[in-house]
């Protein structure tokens, strides 16, 4: 929150008429996601653009507070749940304003480097099969599959909302804190490919805002251009299976919390 408020003040310094709110959200916690959604809904604000940006990378094996492998929980499941909770507001905003809503999932070219089956549905939380880099690739694959499935569902409804995936590129941020030596070697060998913060944000901003992408949905973007994602990422059956699997994880986590902490049911119902 300290960093968020510092960013808020920096924006206000350059844009004195901007109206900004910073709300706390921990994507690794489904309870936090629900609380955030409740707080946002209470503000009664429109919602035109949702950028699912949070991520962790190459961390040692650990489970989230909901008992889910941490990279999958943070990079995919938190965003999956958040998007579902905010979709009704986005639909209503698009209907009432006539302005197209846009959802952007930040993914990575690392989605190509995942487990052999793409998503380890049956071994998601097993420590013995955990490989930090493939687990990261799995979570980034899930980001694209999620975006594509939401896109298909919204198009079937006729909702005026597009959903796309973005690979921002190699950017020097604290995302690499769990693999500093590996990244130093990689950066030395591939220094010409690395981007600064503004360059790294460019594709996200392009997909979120550019009028040329009106009506474009279910696509994968890199360097402000549409690219073909990996074979797993284009698998509609895998996307539907991930959707059902993710819903079951969310439901299971909520049911466990209702049993353990019955006084909190109003927060997660």
What pLDDT, on a 0 to 100 scale, did the predictor assign at position 198? 80
* Catalytic member of 130, 136, 176, 220: 130
Return all residues near 123 (Cβ < 8 A) that are at least 6 apart.
129
What pLDDT, on a 0 to 100 scale, did the predictor assign at position 200? 77
What pLDDT, on a 0 to 100 scale, did the predictor assign at position 266? 41
Q: Nearest to residue 101, comparing CAs of 50, 148, 37?
A: 50
Q: Which helix (H) or strand (E) holds 52?
A: strand 49-52
pTM: 0.88
User: Cα separation of 119 and 121, whole Å?
Assistant: 6
Under a CB-based contact definition with an 8 Å cutoff, are residues 132 and 65 in contact?
A: no
Number of domains in the chain: 1
Enclosing domain of residue 216:
2-268
Q: What is the CATH number of the domain that holds 205?
A: 3.40.50.720
Strands of 149-228, DSSP E: 161-167, 220-222, 225-227
Under a CB-based contact definition with an 8 Å cutoff, are residues 131 and 69 in contact?
A: no
Return all residues near 159 (Cβ < 8 A) that are at least 6 apart.
91, 94, 101
Is 176 in the active site? no
> pLDDT tens per residue, the chain (269 residues)?
999 999 999 999 999 999 999 999 999 999 999 999 999 999 999 999 999 998 898 899 999 999 999 999 999 999 999 999 999 999 999 999 999 999 999 999 999 999 999 999 999 999 999 999 999 999 999 999 999 999 999 999 999 999 999 998 655 655 555 555 666 666 555 555 665 778 778 999 999 999 999 999 999 999 999 999 999 999 999 999 999 999 999 999 888 766 555 555 444 43
With vertex at residue 106, the alpha carbon angle to CA 7 and CA 143, rounded to the nearest 5 degrees, is: 140
User: Cα separation of 48 and 92, whole Å?
Assistant: 10
């Amino acid at each position: 929150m300290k960093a968020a408020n510092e960013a808020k003040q920096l924006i206000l310094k350059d844009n004195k008429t901007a109206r900004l709110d910073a709300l706390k959200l921990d994507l690794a916690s489904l309870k936090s996601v629900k609380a955030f959604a409740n707080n946002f809904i209470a503000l009664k604000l429109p919602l035109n653009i949702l950028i699912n940006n949070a991520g962790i990378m190459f961390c040692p094996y650990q489970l989230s507070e909901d008992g889910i492998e941490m990279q999958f929980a943070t990079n995919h499941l938190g965003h999956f749940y958040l998007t579902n909770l905010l979709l009704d507001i986005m639909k209503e905003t698009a209907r009432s304003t006539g302005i197209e809503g846009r959802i952007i999932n930040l993914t990575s070219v690392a989605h190509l480097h995942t487990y052999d089956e793409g998503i380890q549905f049956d071994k998601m939380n097993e420590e013995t099969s955990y490989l930090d880099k493939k687990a990261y690739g799995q979570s980034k694959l899930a980001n694209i599959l999620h975006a594509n499935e939401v896109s298909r569902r919204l198009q079937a409804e006729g909702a005026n909302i597009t959903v796309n995936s973005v690979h921002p590129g190699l950017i020097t941020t604290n995302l690499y804190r769990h693999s500093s030596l590996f990244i130093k070697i990689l950066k030395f060998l591939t220094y010409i490919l690395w981007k600064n913060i503004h360059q790294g944000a460019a594709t996200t901003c392009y997909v979120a805002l550019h009028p040329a992408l009106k009506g474009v949905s279910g696509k994968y973007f890199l360097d402000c251009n549409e690219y073909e994602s990996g074979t797993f990422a284009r698998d509609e059956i895998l996307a539907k299976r991930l959707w059902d699997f993710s819903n079951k994880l969310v439901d299971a986590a909520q049911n466990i919390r209702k049993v353990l902490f019955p006084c909190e049911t109003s927060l997660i119902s």
